[in-house]
Amino acid sequence: MTHPTTSRTLPTAITMGDACGIGPEIIARLHRDAAARGCFVVGDVDVMRRAVACTGGMLSVARIDAPESAFNVPKNCIAVLQVEALPEGLAALPWGRIDARAGAAAARCIEQAVSLAMRGEVSAIVTAPIHKEALAAAGVGFPGHTEMLQALAAKPGQPALPVRMMLANDELRVVLVTIHQSLRQAIDAVTFDAVLETLRIAHRAAAGWGMTSPRIAVAGLNPHAGEGGLFGDEELRIIAPAVAVARTEGIDARGPFAPDTVFMRARHAPGHPGEFDIVIAMTHDHGLIPVKYLGVEHGVNATLGLPFVRTSPDHGTAFDKAGMGLADPSSMAAALAMARTLAQAVDG
């Protein structure tokens, strides 16, 4: 069977995530739904068979040799592109524990998926959760998916592309200026250039989704957005000037607004259309707490600025639940749906 190389017919790659966490389980549960048709797992066959077993069976696992073979597996079958040179014994690792072998395997799966995406063999990448401590134990020099994907997507001899993390659900879309660093370091990283670049990336990404003029609200860094300098002057020195320059470039950016109220204003809820399409937040927790409070089961993490589409569930490895077969695949399903929507929008 042949397929034209468009996002509508290319398969979607799903990375296995940490073998000791719930990633393989939620992938297995996802494959009970017809929506998983045309997906394949970049990972380990034995790990996925263990995941099927712990979630009640009813699925088979087939090893495939190329992404396009994902379309040829039978119903109720998980296609797995076996990643070479993974640590041995992954399927025998204890559930719910940090293990360097699981961290190394997770990183290797991401590398393979990015390679496929850069060669145009997949429509998008959906990444199952990884554990940052397991990555560190394996000697992987990245604190998370976003930084790793950024480095892997860089062309040889070229600087890494500027990327940003977005967490989204049906009610909020939040893009972050800073991500995985201490709060003290993050404050120092809130610069004019970083804020302006975030606005540009968010605007370009939204335009790719079909929003010709997305309404972007910018949250302040300090309480009450600094209250005119009484509680900090970053809004006056850094954030407001970046917003002003963005507006001269045709970006509908507004703010900075008080961080404790801007998310309520932007939220799209029944009977309450939001004032904004996107909120730019200065730090990780400022931006992600509001989205996660609305329900992690519907949240999706997307990396903006990459040369391919990447999404992920908005939760972690949930070691306390791993191996019980109870993990909820809703966020993974939402991540897959968003990946396909974004890929189709980019494809035009």
pLDDT digits (tens, 9 = 90+) for 218-257: 999 999 998 999 999 999 999 999 999 999 999 999 999 9
Task: Give the span between the Cα atoms of 286 and 217, in whole angstroms.
Answer: 14
Q: Is residue 270 scored above 80 in pLDDT?
A: yes
Do 120 and 6 lie in a common domain? yes
Residue 214 maps to a domain: yes
Burial class (CB in 10 A: 0-12, 13-18, 19+), 82: middle
Q: Is residue 17 scored above 90 in pLDDT?
A: yes
CB 164 within 8 A of CB 303: yes
Mean pLDDT check: name the lowest of 3-12, 140-149, 292-301.
Answer: 3-12
Residue 162 maps to a domain: no
Q: Domain range holding 266?
A: 170-294
Do 325 and 260 lie in a common domain? no
Do 110 and 130 lie in a common domain? yes
Residue 32 maps to a domain: yes
pLDDT score at 176? 97
Distances (CA, A) of 277 to 152, 193, 253, 274, 335: 30, 22, 10, 7, 19
Higher pLDDT, 159 or 6: 159
Please identify which residue in the block is written with the tokens 């931006």. 287
Residue 300 maps to a domain: no
Domain boundary among 249, 264, 294: 294
Q: Is residue 8 scored above 50 in pLDDT?
A: yes
Task: Give the span between the Cα atoms of 138 and 19, in whole angstroms.
Answer: 14
pLDDT score at 347? 63
pLDDT digits (tens, 9 = 90+) for 304-328: 999 999 999 988 999 999 999 889 9
Element (H, E) at 239: none
Residue 288 maps to a domain: yes
pLDDT digits (tens, 9 = 90+) for 24-81: 999 999 999 888 999 999 999 999 999 999 999 889 999 999 999 999 999 999 999 9
pLDDT digits (tens, 9 = 90+) for 176-197: 999 888 999 999 999 999 999 9
pLDDT score at 34? 87
Do 68 and 146 lie in a common domain? yes
Beta bridge partners of 118: none
- CA gyration radius, the chain: 20
Q: Which residues are CB-neighbours of 162 under 8 A, at least 6 positions away?
A: 197, 201, 305
pLDDT digits (tens, 9 = 90+) for 100-149: 999 999 999 999 999 999 999 999 999 999 999 999 999 998 888 988 99
Do 35 and 136 lie in a common domain? yes
For residues 273-300, give the mean pLDDT.
90
Q: 3 falls in which pLDDT band (50, 70, 90)?
A: very low
Do 289 and 316 lie in a common domain? no
Domain boundary among 271, 294, 317: 294
Task: Give the span between the Cα atoms of 79 and 65, in whole angstroms.
Answer: 10
Task: Give the span between the Cα atoms of 4 and 323, in whole angstroms.
Answer: 39
Q: Which residues are CB-neighbours of 274 under 8 A, at least 6 positions away?
A: 171, 172, 265, 266, 267, 268
Do 200 and 325 lie in a common domain? no
Q: Which residues are CB-neighbours of 230 under 8 A, at least 6 positions away?
A: none
What CATH number is attached to the domain comprising 223? 3.40.718.10
Q: 346 falls in which pLDDT band (50, 70, 90)?
A: low
Do 107 and 5 lie in a common domain? yes
pLDDT score at 248? 98
Beta bridge partners of 303: 165
Which of 99-108, 147-156, 159-168, 338-347 is most confident? 99-108
Residue 324 maps to a domain: yes
- Map 170-220 to HEC letters: CCCEEEECCCCCCHHHHHHHCCHHHHHHHHHHHHHHHHHCCCCCCCEEEEC
Residue 314 maps to a domain: yes
CB 217 within 8 A of CB 279: yes
Q: Is residue 294 scored above 90 in pLDDT?
A: no
Q: 345 falls in which pLDDT band (50, 70, 90)?
A: confident
pLDDT score at 4? 40
Which residue from 38, 33, 31 is spatially nearest to 8, judged by alpha carbons? 38
Do 80 and 186 lie in a common domain? no
Do 280 and 311 lie in a common domain? no
Do 136 and 195 lie in a common domain? no
pLDDT score at 2? 34
List phi, psi (to 5°) of 64. Answer: -115, 160
Please state the domain count of the chain. 2
Q: What percent of the chain has pLDDT over 90?
A: 79
Do 2 and 131 lie in a common domain? yes
Residue 301 maps to a domain: no
